[in-house]
Amino acid sequence: MNESLTLNGCLILSALLFGIGLIAVFGRRSAILVLIGIEFMLNAAVINFVAFWRFAHPSSDGMMFSIFAIAIAAAEAGVGLALVTALYRHRRSARIDEIPPASE
């Protein structure tokens, strides 16, 4: 079993998933899809933590970081989606290019 190959595969996979998340953040106008892209990027980071924990540094720190990252990502998703519903209620729209500047 060639383990370093799978570690490199995991790292490349997480880089590509991060890139797909960036596409959603920069390229889509729906606020929900921007949040999905952020979740993808956080997932890519957690994949890196788990891959390094599994193949390179088998101390418990990687696992702890992953658990806390998932918890914070869940809190962020809840607040973000609540923001989207609040935005929709005020503007009748959930598109990020229709959000007024905060100074208004």
CA distance 47 to 9: 11
Q: List the one residue out of 8, 15, 35 whose CA is nearest residue 24.
A: 35
Binders of other proteins among residues 18 to 57 (CB under 8 A) are 18-30, 32-33, 35-37, 39-40, 43, 46-47, 50-51, 53-57
Q: Does 99 bind other proteins (CB under 8 A)?
A: no
Least distance between other proteins and beta carbon 101 (Å): 18
Least distance between other proteins and beta carbon 47 (Å): 7
Give the residue with the Cβ less far from other proteins, 4 or 103: 4
For the chain, the first-to-last Cα distance in angstroms comes to 60
- Please answer whether residues 73 and 80 qualify as being in contact, where contact means their C-beta atoms are separated by less than 8 angstroms: no
